[in-house]
Structure 1
Amino acid sequence: MSADGSRTDGHTVLAIPVPALEPFVRERTAFYDPSFVSADPTFVHAHLTVLAPWIAEPTASDLGVVERIARETASFSVRLARIGEFPDGVLHLVPEPDDGLRALTARLVEAFPAYPPYGGAYDDVVPHVTLDRRGPEVTPETVHAAIADLLPVDLAVERIDLQWWANDDCRVLASFPLGAA
């Protein structure tokens, strides 16, 4: 806890779960840091981040705003088939099209301007599903070979999960269905 009593041991993520990729992403999570493997059966490690880090301890009012934005957003679909790589070596799947995800992030940022995506570290926030990190034995080709039988993923984006990420404490705090107006 910080001096003001807020949590400092983890962070929240507003995320779109991608269950089809869960076996691979969960295994890679366990490889890098098993303390981030969740025991919560509703928690999906494979996700598209919509906004993170977000409020560590959201109020009922904060949750109401996310619920309203989700309710006012029609569900949509994306296809995940192409592997990309960020300059830092993070290998990821690129959602196509990504305009629905970008619009959802923009609405959340407008509602919560004190919480820019990734703490404001990037000028262009690129929607993606993190898969792995480049290394001596990890390349886009090896990752593609490992998940080829899962691709393409045609994902119906139907909810936002509020996830808590902390060592030995990854769990879903709430879920907000899209288009439930």
Structure 2
Amino acid sequence: MEDDDTHGFQAGQSGLIVRVPEAEPAVRGWRDRLDPSARGGVPAHVTVLFPFLDASRIDQGVCAAIGEVLGRHQSFEARFDHCGRFPGVLYLAPEPDTHFRCLTEAMVERWPEHPPFGGQFDDVVPHLTVAQGQDEAVVEQVEADLLTGLPIVAQVSSVDLLVNDGRRWRQRASFPLGQPAGHGAFGVLGDVSGRR
């Protein structure tokens, strides 16, 4: 859900993310100012698959299939102990990143017509975006601040489905990891930012 401007998001777009609430105290202030997806209601996260199906195509059958695919993967611990950079992007890097990669690969295997980020990257690196489109001085300031709060350890036990309603990203469903097939919850739309 990163690497795009809020104005580039469209109603009906969807994506699958792993929320990282443990990172919010360290990153929320920076993300609110420097990451357009945060202003659009997306919490601190690592993207599993974006873009995903149009919201109009997501029904109980699709949710059951998502739950089945994700339910084959066990919950895991991720440690964010350093920053990384892409051109124009500062992020926290999870270690190990293998589990995140496996989640993405499993979803793409099931829905090959939806490659991560539209297929624009050869290697999709799991990351938690903190800032985008900033000059080097700002990025260095943000990175220095973030390093004082690391490491961040997160327990990953579910994957959330977010849908854009034309103004904000809202949670449509949450799918637990390590559960029997078909136990994903087709939830009610909610404000994922925690703000009202």
TM-score, length-normalised on structure 1? Answer: 0.82
The residue aligned with 2:190 is none
Structural mapping, 1:10-89, within 5 Å: 10-23=12-25, 25-32=27-34, 33=36, 36-38=39-41, 45-57=43-55, 58-86=58-86, 88-89=87-88
Q: Indicate the SS of the match to 2:15.
A: strand
Q: Are 1:29 and 1:37, in contact at CA under 8 Å, matched by a contact in 2?
A: no
Structure-2 change in CA distance of 1:35 and 1:47 (3 Å): closer
Q: How big is each residue's C-alpha offset from its partner over 1:87-106, in whole Å with a ceiling of 9 and x where there is no partner?
A: x2200111111111111110
Q: How many residues align?
A: 168
CA contact (8 A) 1:161 1:172 kept: yes
Taking structure 1 as reference, are residues 22 and 127 closer, same or farther at Cα in structure 2, changes over 3 Å only? same
Whichever residue aligns with residue 170 of structure 2, its letter is R
Q: Which amino acid aligns with 1:123?
A: D
Alignment check: 8 A CA contact 2:17 2:48 kept: yes
- Percent sequence identity is 36
Which whole-Å deviations, capped at 9, do the CAs of 1:13-58 have from their partners, x for residues lacking one? 10000112224544344325599343xxxxx510000000101221
Q: Specify whether residues 55 and 80 from structure 1 end up closer, same or farther in structure 2 by C-alpha distance, changes over 3 A only.
A: same
- From the superposition, tell whether residues 68 and 126 of structure 1 become closer, same or farther in structure 2 (CA, over 3 Å): same
Q: Which structure 2 segments of 5+ residues have no match?
A: 1-8, 181-196
User: Deviation digits for residues 103-135 of structure 1, max 9, x if unmatched?
Assistant: 111000000011100000001000000011341
C-alpha separation in 2, matches of 1:30 and 1:165:
18
CA contact (8 A) 2:82 2:147 kept: no
Aligned to 1:180: 179
Point out where structure 1 has 5 or more consecutive residues left out of the alignment.
Answer: 1-6, 39-43
The residue number in structure 1 matching 2:116 is 117
Which residue does 1:102 correspond to in 2?
101
Question: Considering only aligned residues, what root-mean-square deviation do their CA atoms show, in Å?
Answer: 2.3
Deviates more, 1:155-164 or 1:17-26: 17-26
Report the residue type matching 1:55 in the other structure.
Answer: L
Counterpart residue identity of residue 65, structure 1: A
